[in-house]
């Protein structure tokens, strides 16, 4: 009788398979196209790798995927490194991914074009959503690496062109894993301040991998949703990122971004000088124009009629004044003649003159006797001559 074959449970056979696979494929590198990519809210990634003939499940745990500088997308060919494991509840084998990179520059470019087309179809690049860049900003927010060359260029240009502007720097990681999240956080922080006039998103030049954070969808959407206008100045003149297309204004370099964000103080001085000159000229011309209008109004019939009435009244008043003056002069002359006549009359009746001519005055009881009838022979009398008086007593 043959020996009875060993019977295994499902868990036992799964354990044996798992042990065999994990021991045999503890370190593998696999190339394939991503499909069904899902970023779980826990931070873990779940996706498939496929080629034309097969599909394999993949997981990449939070902490490890933080070191991936790009966000995987369906249809992108990548190379993953990891180990083969078995998920016992389903009996599936999968790749426990430890690292991931694009299969080549072409794959990153393909991801770039896919996202660009997607966002373009949604309207994120449309001019109607572009916000106007203020001509004279008071505060400029800057999102860039605090230790990079770009920040030095930005500060230098601002000091040269418009030293009055205040720069608010929000330091960001601009390359490698976590850079996209850092950029998004900085944009949100500057928007929360409420008093920033414009934001400059800047980074120096580099490879497509170096600039990839600015090609991430989360960065593009943060730029689009920003309530503050954003100028992108990422890389060199020939470098284009998704952020450039979404931004309100694209600059070929960080330095040019600051030039676009600030006025040149020399231009401002020239503008002020021209304004003062033109203002003086304009004010003079305006005064002359208004003066001419006023003169025309004053020369019009309506004003001439009123002026003639005023002048006629002036003339009438002058006539009245002359008439009154003449009347006063006549009355004055009559009064003067009367006074003169009275003066002569008074002078002709001057007692001293009469006495001097030989006439005398007779006084009794301190009263002058003007008629013989009033003279009393029984009373003493005083006779007044020009040169003296004598008293006549009763006999």
**Tens digit of pLDDT for each residue in 22-76?**
778 888 999 998 999 998 888 899 999 998 889 999 999 988 888 888 888 888 8
Mean pLDDT of 206-228: 92
Please state, as a whole number, how many other Cβ atoms lie within 10 Å of the Cβ of residue 257: 30
What pLDDT does 395 receive? 60
pLDDT at 219: 96
pLDDT of residue 302: 66
Task: Please say if the pLDDT value at position 215 is more than 50.
Answer: yes
Average pLDDT estimate for 223-233: 96
Nearest one of 226, 230, 153 to 198, comparing CA atoms: 230
Written as one string, the DSSP assignment of 57-123 is EEEE-TTTGGG-SS---TT-EEEEEEEEEEETTTTEEEEEEEEEEESSHHHHHHHHHHHHHHHHHHT
- Return the sign of the alpha-carbon dihedral for residues 345, 350, 355, 360: positive
36: left (phi over 0), alpha (psi -120 to 50) or beta: left
The CATH superfamily of 126-262 is Hypothetical protein af1403; domain 2 (3.40.50.10550)
Q: What mean pLDDT value characterizes the chain?
A: 87
Q: E-strand spans in the chain?
A: 28-39, 45-50, 55-60, 77-87, 92-102, 139-144, 166-171, 198-203, 230-234, 249-250, 361-364, 367-368, 381-385, 388-392
| DSSP reduced 3-state for 39 | strand
Per-residue model confidence (pLDDT) at position 189:
96
Task: Please list, in sequence order, all residues whose beta carbon lies within 8 angstroms of the beta carbon of residue 91, skipping any fewer than 6 positions away.
Answer: 10, 14
- pLDDT tens per residue, range 264-306: 988 888 878 888 877 777 888 888 888 888 887 777 766 667 7
Q: What is the pLDDT of residues 158-196, one digit of tens each?
A: 999 999 999 999 999 998 888 999 999 999 999 999 899
With a pLDDT cut of 70, the percent of the chain lying above it is 96
Average pLDDT for residues 255-270, to the nearest whole number? 90
Distance CA 364, CA 381 (A): 5
When pLDDT is cut at 50, 70 and 90, the band that residue 228 belongs to is: very high
Is residue 5's pLDDT more than 60?
yes
CA distance 332 to 321: 16
Cα dist from 285 to 288, 373, 390, whole Å: 5, 104, 102
- pLDDT (0 to 100) of residue 250: 95
Q: Is the pLDDT of residue 354 over 80?
A: no
3-state secondary structure of 281: helix
pLDDT for position 3: 53
Q: pLDDT band for 357, please (50, 70, 90 cuts).
A: confident
Per-residue confidence (pLDDT) for residue 307, from 0 to 100: 67
Query: For 10-103, which CATH class?
Result: mainly beta
Half-sphere exposure of 296 (CA within 13 A, CB side): 6
For the chain, the structural domain boundaries read 10-103, 126-262, 351-392
Phi and psi at residue 303, to the nearest 5°: -75, -35
From residue 75, how far is each of 34, 50, 55, 211 by CA, in Å? Answer: 5, 10, 13, 21
pLDDT, position 218? 92
Q: What is the pLDDT of residue 71?
A: 82
Evaluate if residue 90 carries a pLDDT over 60. Answer: yes
91-126, pLDDT tens digit by residue? 788 999 999 888 877 888 888 888 899 999 999 999
Q: Following CA atoms 288, 290, 291, 295 in sequence, which dihedral angle do they give, to the nearest 10 degrees?
A: 140
Per mean pLDDT, which of 263-267, 314-318, 348-352 is the most reliable?
263-267
| Backbone φ/ψ region at 91: left (φ over 0), alpha (ψ -120 to 50), beta | left
Q: What is the pLDDT of residue 1?
A: 43
Which has the higher per-residue pLDDT, 320 or 49? 49
């Amino acid at each position: 009788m043959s020996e009875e074959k060993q019977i295994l449970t499902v868990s036992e056979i799964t354990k044996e398979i798992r042990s065999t696979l994990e021991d045999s494929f503890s370190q593998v590198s696999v190339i394939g196209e991503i499909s069904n990519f899902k970023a779980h809210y826990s931070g873990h990634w779940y996706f498939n790798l496929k080629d034309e003939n097969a599909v394999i499940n993949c997981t990449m745990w939070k902490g490890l995927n933080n070191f991936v500088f790009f966000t995987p997308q369906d249809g992108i060919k990548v190379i993953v490194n990891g180990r083969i494991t078995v998920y016992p509840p389903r009996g599936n084998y999968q790749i426990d991914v430890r690292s991931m990179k694009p299969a080549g520059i072409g794959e990153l470019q393909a991801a770039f074009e896919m996202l660009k087309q997607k966002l373009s179809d949604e309207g994120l690049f449309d001019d109607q959503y572009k916000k106007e860049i203020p001509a004279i900003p008071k505060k400029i927010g800057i999102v860039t690496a605090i230790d990079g060359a770009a920040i030095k260029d930005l500060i230098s240009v601002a000091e040269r062109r418009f030293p009055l502007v205040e720069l608010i720097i929000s330091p960001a990681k601009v390359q490698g894993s976590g850079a996209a999240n850092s950029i998004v956080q900085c944009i949100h922080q500057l928007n929360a301040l409420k008093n920033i006039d414009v934001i400059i998103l800047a980074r120096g030049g580099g490879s497509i991998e170096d600039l990839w954070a600015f090609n991430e969808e989360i960065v593009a959407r943060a730029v689009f949703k920003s309530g503050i206008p954003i100028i992108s100045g990422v890389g060199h003149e020939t470098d284009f990122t998704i952020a450039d297309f979404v931004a309100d204004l694209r600059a070929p370099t960080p330095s040019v971004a600051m030039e676009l964000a600030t006025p040149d103080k020399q231009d401002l001085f020239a503008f002020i000088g021209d304004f003062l000159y033109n203002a003086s000229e304009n004010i003079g011309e305006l005064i002359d124009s208004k003066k001419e209008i006023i003169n025309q109004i004053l020369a019009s019939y309506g004003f001439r009629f009123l002026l003639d009435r005023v002048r006629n009244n002036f003339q009438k008043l002058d006539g009245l004044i002359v008439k009154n003056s003449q009347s006063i002069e006549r009355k004055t002359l009559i009064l003067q003649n009367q006074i003169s006549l009275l003066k002569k009359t008074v002078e002709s009746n001057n007692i001293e003159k009469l006495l001097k001519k030989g006439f005398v005055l007779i006084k009794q009881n301190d009263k002058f006797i003007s008629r013989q009838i009033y003279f009393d022979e029984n009373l003493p009398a005083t006779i007044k001559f020009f040169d003296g008086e004598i008293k006549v007593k009763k006999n």
